[in-house]
């Protein structure tokens, strides 16, 4: 089982919606191309959240733990793919780490996979400060 580092609590606060605190003019520009590389994970996370919220999907309290989970599992090099063992282990860890998120693993998994793809293209130096 890979070792999981904890995400920085100052960044991943499920109670503070980052888009609810920002003016419309200061919002992060959405990434038009899903393959576009975010400058850092925070930019990706805010852009993805803004898009999902705009489509009527979940709120910050539900998605913040998913982004933190994606970051920690990516940093720990969790295996990817449809392998039943890996998916089951990830589901178990999600249940332990999800906090107040109302998302079950089936709902969280696509968000995690999208975040992993983004993290594949973000330099490690930009991600490291987000982990303790």
pLDDT digits (tens, 9 = 90+) for 21-42: 543 333 444 444 444 444 688 8
pLDDT tier, 111 (very low <50, low <70, confident <90, very high otherwise): very high
Mean pLDDT of the chain: 75
User: According to the model, what pLDDT value does residue 112 have?
Assistant: 94
Residue 58 DSSP code: -
Q: Are 74 and 38 in contact (CB under 8 A)?
A: no
3-state secondary structure (DSSP) of residue 23: coil
pLDDT higher at 21 or 7: 7
Q: Are 105 and 95 in contact (CB under 8 A)?
A: yes
d(CA 43, CA 122): 11
pLDDT of 79 strictly over 50: yes
- pTM exceeding the 0.95 threshold for the entire prediction: no
């Amino acid at each position: 089982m890979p070792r999981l580092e904890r995400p920085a609590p100052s960044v991943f606060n499920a109670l503070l919606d980052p888009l609810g605190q920002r003016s419309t003019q200061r919002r992060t520009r959405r990434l038009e191309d899903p393959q576009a590389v975010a400058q850092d994970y925070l930019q990706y996370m805010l852009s993805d959240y803004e898009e999902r919220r705009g489509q009527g999907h979940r709120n910050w309290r539900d998605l913040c733990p998913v982004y933190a989970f994606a970051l920690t599992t990516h940093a720990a090099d969790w295996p990817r793919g449809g392998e039943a063992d890996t998916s089951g282990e990830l589901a178990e860890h999600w249940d332990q780490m999800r906090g107040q998120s109302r998302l079950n693993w089936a709902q969280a998994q696509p968000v995690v996979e999208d975040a992993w793809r983004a993290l594949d293209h973000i330099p490690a130096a930009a991600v490291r400060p987000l982990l303790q």
